[in-house]
Amino acid sequence: MAKLLYAIACNDVIVDRESGSTSFIKTIEHAVVPELPAQLPPLYLGSMWELGETQDFTVALQLATPDGKIETLGVQEVTAPGTMLHKLNFQLPGLSVSQEGRHTLTVAAKFNSEWTTLAELPLFILLNSQQPPQA
């Protein structure tokens, strides 16, 4: 079974063509919005997997809101490439949020027919209280 080594939400991902090294630019754990609902800017979720002798599997990225609603943001099939490590990145065009508070980005994988949650990353949505009052 594949093992998730890390998952990180960030503003941008740069992968070096020669070495394969990855740079994660501006990690994201919160967003400050002027009002709700709001559209967050595009973001990435980068992950690294240890494959070993794994078979094909599926990875899903979901967003859970503070009131418990769950939205699937993306699903990717991973065909066992015959290597020990595998990088898997989700590029998200931007998230629509309508609540303040702790949201959770969940990385889950399906091995055979069973889904397993492997990572839960917090994404705090905060209202900007510094906005001037409107007349």
Overall average pLDDT of the 49-55 stretch? 82
Distance CA 7, CA 9 (A): 7
Overall average pLDDT of the 62-68 stretch? 97
Distance CA 38, CA 36 (A): 5
Q: Give one DSSP letter per residue of 41-92, joined into a string.
A: PPEEEEEEEE-TT---EEEEEEEE-TTS-EEEEEEEEE---SSSEEEEEEEE
Alpha helices in the chain (DSSP H): none
> Over 80: is that where the pLDDT of 64 sits?
yes
What is the reported pLDDT for 130? 62
Q: Of 5-19, 45-59, 87-101, 103-117, give the lowest mean pLDDT range.
A: 45-59
> Over 60: is that where the pLDDT of 3 sits?
yes
Of residues 42, 46, 37, the one with CA closest to residue 94: 42
Distance of CA 118 to the CA centre of its chain: 12
What is the reported pLDDT for 52? 75
The radius of gyration of the chain's CA atoms, rounded to the nearest angstrom, is: 17
Cβ(10)–Cβ(23) below 8 Å: no
Domain 3-127 fold is Immunoglobulin-like (2.60.40)
Residue 82 binned pLDDT confidence (cut-offs 50, 70, 90): confident
Q: Where are the domains of the chain?
A: 3-127
Question: Tokens 């599997």 label which residue?
Answer: 57
Cβ(126)–Cβ(30) below 8 Å: yes
